[in-house]
């Protein structure tokens, strides 16, 4: 008989939780009828973190995907009126991506969908358990020894 593998069990639990989070977020997105895929949602959220419109290569790097994947996402979001391609004022060969007003409105809806999904997932936990879970997740995300100051996490 082999001894149980606690790290293997934890890894499986993390994978199952990740899949559950994705399913629930996808369902909340579909209920809001935004017509935005989870990948497009991630691109919009990433785009919103830039102070000025980024290049597609910047988005690809930040999202850790190949540039072609960003092109496909931007094409879909542009067709839906959520983003637009704009020329770089300093170099006309460079194209930058910016949110439209519809894109900003979609982001507000996306944030609401994510909050609703998080509330559903976290509902069984007490406030104290949520605080402990947040600290544990910070440690796993940032790695050991990282400064995990209060309020650093973003929704």
DSSP 55: B
Residue 146 has pLDDT above 70, yes or no: no
pLDDT score at 8: 87
41-77: per-residue pLDDT in tens? 999 999 999 999 999 999 999 999 999 999 999 999 9
pTM: 0.73
The token duo for 113 is 């969908």
SS3 129: helix
**CA 36/CA 106 separation, integer angstroms:** 9
Q: Are 83 and 98 in contact (CB under 8 A)?
A: yes
């Amino acid at each position: 008989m082999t001894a149980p593998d606690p790290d293997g069990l934890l890894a499986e639990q993390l994978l199952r939780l990740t899949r559950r989070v994705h399913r629930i977020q996808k369902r909340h997105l579909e209920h809001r009828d935004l017509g935005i895929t989870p990948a497009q949602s991630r691109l919009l959220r990433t785009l919103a973190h830039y102070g000025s419109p980024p290049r597609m290569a910047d988005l690809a790097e930040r999202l850790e995907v190949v540039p072609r994947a960003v092109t496909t996402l931007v094409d879909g979001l542009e067709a839906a009126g959520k983003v637009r391609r704009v020329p770089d004022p300093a170099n006309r060969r460079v194209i930058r991506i910016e949110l439209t007003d519809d894109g900003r409105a979609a982001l507000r809806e996306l944030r609401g969908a994510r909050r609703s999904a998080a509330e559903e997932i976290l509902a069984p936990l007490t406030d104290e358990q949520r605080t402990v879970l947040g600290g544990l997740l910070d440690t796993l995300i940032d790695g050991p020894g990282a400064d995990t100051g209060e309020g650093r996490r973003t929704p």
